[in-house]
Chains A and B, each alone.
Chain A
Amino acid sequence: MRKTFIESLVFEAKNNSNIWLLCADLGFSILEPFISNFPERFINVGIAEQNMIGIASGLALSGKKVFVYSIANFVTFRCLEQIRNDICYHNLDITIIGVGAGYSYGVHGYTHHAIEDVSIMNNLPNIKIISPSDTYQTKLSIEYTSKNKGPFYIRLGNQNQNFTEKKYIENSIDLPIKIFNGTSLCILFSGNVFDEIKYINDRLNDINIFPNVYSIPFISEIPNNFIDKIENENNLIITIEDSLKNGGFGSKILELFNNKKVVKNLGFDHNDINIVMTKEYAMNKFKNNAFDFILSFLSNKN
């Protein structure tokens, strides 16, 4: 996803001389194509995230379209007030790129776990969150943020597959993308969880259950007509994300639904912050939870 990000950004920057890229001393073996192509539009500010967001804001006030890059937890939490006051309050054209979303850096410990980022950014003004699930969505996200005015927060993980491109028929990353077709049961997902979604879908298919599965990278603005459609067509809705359940993608979906359809949110909690936690390890319980929940729901219904 990081390689796709930089290839897409270099492509956009060739056509738009206002695009700048800032990093806080991270990006080795990723950012070099931008640096070599546009050295005058790149700054490594050093290990100083607060300063980076302020500098990005000054550049945006000067008419630039600024991308800032670091590990997701550093570029959100360390400089949260700069994001809130400088970027969001002033509604500046800045895209924050956070890599290592969720438990992508799970073995490095809690300091490197970016799980609260969606909940926190969800509650700031003006900024829109994009949580791509594969390389194609990453490409579309960079295209979108290059052509539209920010602020945006894009969280990238380590999902290097491309399942979207063949399914993709809409015009924009800001709409839900249908991945699998089914009836009466719906799974909505966001972030780096496609392996788990595929596992659940395959297991359900094996016993002749076919869910509607949608990928929703653009968390901040989910269209009302989509919500209406999902509610009308399904009895059970499950959300799956690679971020904290409290205030995350699933919470957002719950707020949008109007009637009494059953919604089950699956996301992370804070119970195991002291241990090594790879994404696969964290997700294992999800996969089976989701599967079991669906089976018990269907058997109760019958």
Chain B
Amino acid sequence: MDKIKYTNISKNVRKNLLNITYKASSSHIGSSMSLVEILVYLYSEKLNKDSFDMNISERNSLIISKGHAAAVVYSILYEFDYISKKDLDNYSQNGSFMTGHVNYKVNGVEFSTGSLGHGLSVALGISICAKRENRSSRCYVILSDGELNEGSIWEGIMFSSHHKLDNITIIIDNNKIQSFGFSKDVINMESLENKFESFGLDVFRINGHNFYELDNALSENKKNGKPKIIIADTIKGKGVTFMENKLEWHYRSLSKELYEKAIYEIEN
């Protein structure tokens, strides 16, 4: 775990995602910024090119269920050489695969999502297959906190513990703001720890922007028959002060002035 290196990559990723969302006048910037460190850690430590080769059975995999974080995913894929600069610049451009919700046609994306509540079940399918065939691989799945409103998530959570899937790691990007308000005001899901513990999961709660805490929670995997879930407390819009904890940055796109201000803050 190289914190300095990962911090530098995170800085580049934030700049990439500001660049492409500015150029495309697109939204979901805040939802992307909260996920940067989690993805930098996973793509550095847990995933490699084999992870996205369907012909390899022993591979870790990643399902991004909060598909609206496409800008950060593509920005990471560029930093880790999965896609070219040209691909990255095609973000949201007509005729390209670089859709505003993650697209499996893009190298380094396993599964297309965009409607919430789908990715967990897909990850469970991958996990139960690996479990029954005694593979050592692990499936990571990233959910948003608002996504936990969806009933299908709880169908999946119950399934995960019933089948003792200790080869799945569920990460919640808990940025505490969903589409139309603060999560606590829309549907208050707390205490998340209590809920998941009562459903039989192995629960961790960490600061999702801290590489040491990510490393602690993600490095050791017990064979305890319990699915692992990490509630990663994050900040929507993290890294740019005027975006942080603001609902509007689920939707707004950057003006030239704000774009320059944001880049300046990331660089300094």
Interface residues of A (CB under 8 A from B): 40-41, 43, 45-46, 48, 50-64, 81-82, 85-86, 89-90
With A51-B156, A55-B128 already in contact, the answer to whether A61 and B121 are too (CB < 8 A) is no
Cα A178 to Cα B139 with chains together (Å): 50
Docked-complex contact A61 and B159, CB < 8 angstroms: no
Partner of B112, one of A45, A60, A81, A89: A89
Question: Which residue of B129, B130, B132, B158 has the most chain A CB atoms within 10 A of its CB atom?
Answer: B129
Docked-complex contact A59 and B129, CB < 8 angstroms: yes
Cα A82 to Cα B125 with chains together (Å): 13
Task: Please encode chain B, from 156 to 195, with 1 for each CB lying within 8 Å of some chain A CB and 0 for all others.
Answer: 1011000000000000000000000000000000000000
Q: List 10 other contacts, CB 8 Å, given A61-B125, A62-B129.
A: A55-B122, A58-B125, A61-B61, A61-B110, A62-B126, A64-B129, A82-B118, A85-B113, A86-B118, A90-B112
Q: Which 8 A-B pairs have the closest CB atoms?
A: A58-B125, A54-B121, A51-B155, A48-B155, A55-B125, A62-B129, A58-B126, A50-B152
Q: What class of interface size applies to chain B in its complex with A? A: 20 to 34
Cα A172 to Cα B208 with chains together (Å): 55
B158 to chain A, nearest CB (A): 7
Cα A295 to Cα B114 with chains together (Å): 54
Cα A64 to Cα B155 with chains together (Å): 22
User: Does B124 reach chain A (CB closer than 8 Å)?
Assistant: yes
User: Does B104 reach chain A (CB closer than 8 Å)?
Assistant: yes
- The chain B residue with its CB closest to the CB of A51 is B155
Interface residues of B (CB under 8 A from A): 54, 57, 61, 104, 110-115, 117-130, 132, 139, 151-152, 155-156, 158-159
Cα A115 to Cα B3 with chains together (Å): 58
Cα A103 to Cα B42 with chains together (Å): 50
Partner of A58, one of B114, B117, B124: B124
Docked-complex contact A51 and B118, CB < 8 angstroms: no
With A46-B159, A61-B54 already in contact, the answer to whether A54 and B124 are too (CB < 8 A) is yes
Docked-complex contact A57 and B122, CB < 8 angstroms: yes
Cα A52 to Cα B112 with chains together (Å): 18
Question: Which residue of B54, B113, B118, B120 has the most chain A CB atoms within 10 A of its CB atom?
Answer: B118
Docked-complex contact B125 and A57, CB < 8 angstroms: yes
Docked-complex contact B114 and A54, CB < 8 angstroms: no
Docked-complex contact B121 and A50, CB < 8 angstroms: yes
Docked-complex contact B117 and A50, CB < 8 angstroms: yes
Docked-complex contact B123 and A58, CB < 8 angstroms: yes
Chain A residues, CB < 8 A from B128: 43, 55, 58-59
- The chain A residue with its CB closest to the CB of B121 is A54
B214 to chain A, nearest CB (A): 24
Partner of A61, one of B122, B151, B155: B122
- The chain A residue with its CB closest to the CB of B63 is A58
6 intermolecular pairs with C-beta atoms under 8 Å apart: A40-B132, A46-B155, A51-B152, A55-B122, A61-B61, A61-B122
With A50-B152, A50-B155 already in contact, the answer to whether A61 and B124 are too (CB < 8 A) is no
Docked-complex contact A58 and B129, CB < 8 angstroms: yes
Docked-complex contact A85 and B110, CB < 8 angstroms: no
- The chain B residue with its CB closest to the CB of A52 is B121
A264 to chain B, nearest CB (A): 40
With A46-B159, A50-B152, A62-B130 already in contact, the answer to whether A90 and B125 are too (CB < 8 A) is no
Cα A64 to Cα B121 with chains together (Å): 16
A149 to chain B, nearest CB (A): 13
